[in-house]
Structure 1
């Protein structure tokens, strides 16, 4: 494939061309892999919810060749981008993308050994996070991983000015979006039998939150 990927940010219409390019994926992927190396199972199926451009899925499938990777997204343009990156990569452990809305009651994936969800919680209505927890509590096994990455608010922790500005910009674009309180996310997870195992500070004022199904 010779066409250059189209620059893209969440919530924006893509330019012409199937593949999207989200610059943040290049900046954060190595730090995320470093956390995942000690958290993912040695084999099995990993479901990525809200895969976006699809670039993370290609990188992670390459980094963890013994795991099968299932990308997903509710946006048809994102699914097209994911398919484009998958076709170019040619990785045998990277599955074709499926349409999955985290807020939906019924998911197209019946079981997964782990779930990844990167930069969705703040760029979606709260119903999507509640649906994510419900789905994870249903399809991952006991001890299975739910991994979240992104910017959050924390009680008794000063929020970086850049994150405050980002939160304001998100809410200006969509009143249902915005940075979430870690405590609220933890409570939503606990209600579905998912317990916070670890919080990891990440570059650029982001967090990794690792949950395990009880």
Structure 2
């Protein structure tokens, strides 16, 4: 419990620092992510070439909230997509807003309007936006990916960069099913010698969203299986 409290306290410290005059948000993002990875006892091994262009949509498998920390540590330029409710969470919400998280209303019936909102952020801010097309955390990425972001990529000619992430202690690091946040964090702290393996994969130019969502998912799964 104490270690979990420190994680939230340190996040609050970085949030407050971000409001200082001339604060370097990019540097703070990287520093925050690297510190939290250390506090969780996770060593990061990254390989491959990050996206060199913007806007770009970054997609990959999703195991845990830890994935966001690892992504920010290896590529602090990344921004995220989150449901609107996250913006109201204590500490997490204001922090997410400070790092240009794009909040969307998942109950919005006008899906076209939501997609235009996402595309506008990508194009206007030259964002490198990371999404998890599975829509949930899982250890195996067996279910088809949602095609919405791939449709945006096609319509607005935005490239898609894939990645894969895995952990040396997969179940201890995973946040899946009915996991409880504090209990799961305690599980992470308890496991020793944890390593996060991050790899940048290919860039895709989308012409058939549904087919290529499956193509990219299979590429990520293949990369995970090569490592296993």
Q: TM-score, normalised by structure 1?
A: 0.42
Q: Looking at secondary structure, tell me which structure has more helix per residue.
A: 2
Q: TM-score, normalised by structure 2?
A: 0.40
Query: Which structure has more RCO (C-alpha within 8 Å, separation ≥ 6)?
Result: 2
